[in-house]
Chain A
Amino acid sequence: MAKLANIGDFEKLMETVKAGRESSARSVTVCCGTGCVASGAHDVIAKFQEELKTRKIDAEISSKATGCHGFCERGPLVVVFPDRIFYQRVSAEDVPEIVDETLVKDKVIERLLYSDPVSDEKITHEPDVQFYKRQQRIIFGSNGMIDPTDMDDYIGLDGYAALAKVLSDHSSDDVLDVIERSGLRGRGGAGFPTSRKWRITGAQEATPKYVICNADEGDPGAFQDRSLCEGNPHSILEGMAIGAYAIGASEAYIYVRAEYPLACKHLEIAINQAEDRGLLGDNILGTNFSLKIHIKKGAGAFVCGEESALIASIEGKPGEPIPRPPYPAEKGLWGRPTNINNVKTWASVPYIINRGADWFAGIGTEKSKGTMIFSLVGKVNNTGLVEVPMGMTLKELVEEIGGGIPGGKKLKAVQTGGPSGGCIPSELMTIPIDYEELAKVGSMMGSGGCVVMDEDTCMVDVARYFLSFTVAESCGKCTPCREGNGRLLDILVRICGGDGKEGDIELLKELAGAITDGSLCALGKTAPNPVLTTIEYFRDEYEAHIKDKCCPAKVCKSLITYSIVADNCTGCLACLKACPAGAVSGEKKQVHVIDQAKCTKCGACYEVCKFEAVSVE
């Protein structure tokens, strides 16, 4: 690949690439995001290539592996262009049929279509799927259309045009102004205005300066940063290049966890490609601006997502936060001014430059602009990655995009923001997605986790679960986080175990207060959020655990007993066979009995009983 000597060269290249990709051309894409790969996407794409070759139509009909489409629950996903016929849960065996029927004969295969869980209607085209319909896919939009290892795919969708634009006629102040006007805020959780961060770093006298992309995504259940790194790595690089230009940095790091091997690989390929083309490296597009981007693989500590811990980790020190001030913008990596932004923040930048600040600012609410990507998981029909405009209500997110709660259960709460976020009860589902609004109800935007919980969820257990994660991931440096969160967890374990005491709730609140006010970094400060919000909104559940020694959601094993309802029991032996502990006894066609001493409260009997003869109390 020849190096692009100047902006003109780049523009020429873009034209060539776009011309080569006629929009009417027929092609097939297979989602090769991690979720789909896990369910066999690699076999599917290989089969497509093989079949097309055998039929000698591989010249007319292209096939490609793309990044994550987001609807992971339904993977592997196949989309046939240009009509965007959407097939889900496709296996390699289905491929010859798709080639013969859809690609060659242009017929839709009914059985591979997605059927709406609410209306039961079969949906043929991808944009018509409810899951996608209500989304506004901007930074995530190209994922399904490009092969992340093919730079031209990105360029064909205006990739690097923003960088070229900035380098041709923007001063760094111009860039800062655009970003400021767009209202972009950090997508890492805290929502600090991006332009202000850039300005502070840019204004520092000390040199060199560094920019860092925080791809140390660590929340359980969240994978949006991963999907972006895997599916559209160039958008991150381009954003970083624009940011580095605005700030005056010529060296950058991407801190990505080593457990994301595909993300690491695609980022590496992308950097090499961009450098080969002269879009990264020395004198980008013939200008004076140079940027070297390094990948730093982290060992997977949640706390390394905290910026000072992340910097320490890059420096080769233990990943532990250091007190701020001074902030990284003043003294960061190697003691130099450093700007750290999240993957999604960086990836938003090219779109803002390309489409303008006003366009971006037009999306969202007064204070929260643009879109937000959520990992929508939990008790919801459509799980996956969704990109929605700020300001959408949680209700819309859960019910319209998520397709509601499975099994006709009731929504109980939504937990946003990763393990340190709060649980928002169903009554508050009407609040819009907005940094301030979420904070007001005790939760946060965080990095975009969104866990939906139905009525079968025990809120005390949920708090215990999230806290067990933060306790395990705490670096242990400061007292409130190490000792305090540890004690919080002890108390929650005790309450869930039926040993709750009068005054525990007050003690939890007192400890949580000390942890929130006293911890050194955000991990500690926010760790009690699940506890505080569950106490706030579901205090009765705590009281039931402590005073009545019962778990209303029937989750906490120590507080429930499984027993056979003699009237309903038909003596079918199903529960007896299902019981892993051998606690169920009884003859065929006779009422069974559960030996409480042996029962491990796994609930297997309850699940298998068709006669409602197993009761949980």
Chain B
Amino acid sequence: MADFLPVFFVFAMGLSLLVYVVLDGFDLGIGMLLPLADEGDKNVMIASIGPFWDANETWIVMGVGVLLIAFPHAHGIVMTALYIPVTVMLFGLTLRGVAFDFRVKAGDDRRRLWNNAFFGGSLVASMAQGWMLGAYITGLDRSPTSYAFAVLIAVTLPALYVMLGGAWLMIKTEGELFERAVRWTRNALLPMGVGLLLVSIATPLVSERIAERWFTLPNAIGLMPIPVACAAAYLVIAWLLRRPDVLRGGYGHFVFYALVLICLMAALGLAYSIFPDIVLGRMTLFEAAAATSSLEFIFWGVAIILPLIGFYSAYVYRVFSGKATELSYD
């Protein structure tokens, strides 16, 4: 149990953060696309995420929560080192979160202000998350190269979120807004692709340890499915986005699935690069883990309740399935 539990919890943490990136990723992406739409479309776009965003955002609390619960020694180090980007992200998430309600409840004269807050909050939160991820991959290093690497991810992650947001709109909307979503997604494709490629090249350059792991035989061969799957997913997206007729024919959601595949592969690659460390080069997950008695107490909760959460989340998505038109309290 003593060896199994830390691994179980690092898996739970990784899974929660991956789910967060996909689910709140499309929320934040739609937030960043907001200024491109007219007022009517803005309402539909926000309606397409309105019933879900709150639960989606809870996944980051879960991810950071697991870090705090299972790896309290690492939690302090990580959170202290990321003090500034975490604060910036929290400002962004706060503005984005309250803008959902304020833009329709504070009066028409303030609607523009809250639309801007929605956009600005989404953008700032996305970039800050990229910065945090970058700083984490470099082992919370403070050299100029590491900062440059963090900046690179800080501009790549928003592009990925915009793609997710556009793909979500292809699932949830129709008519002119659908066409616009296809265009927006197509425009974000190249920046995302270049960004991901640069990140993949830069990661082994900033970390010798990661380079060692990836570029020694026979590991390199076993790892080939990861880049190959990413490239294939990218090509599928590129092909689909040039065929609006295929997308309209009901294949729009494949863009979303292909993006999820890219996120999953990136997460697997990252996990392989870092395991068994929790703070790269400084602390392993076994060193950081909480006492076994505490992990056992929470293990049963996670093992029983997490599937239940997955079950009722799926139910909520089913209740609100189909094209989004309007949100009404009635």
Whether chain B is bound by chain A comes out as: no
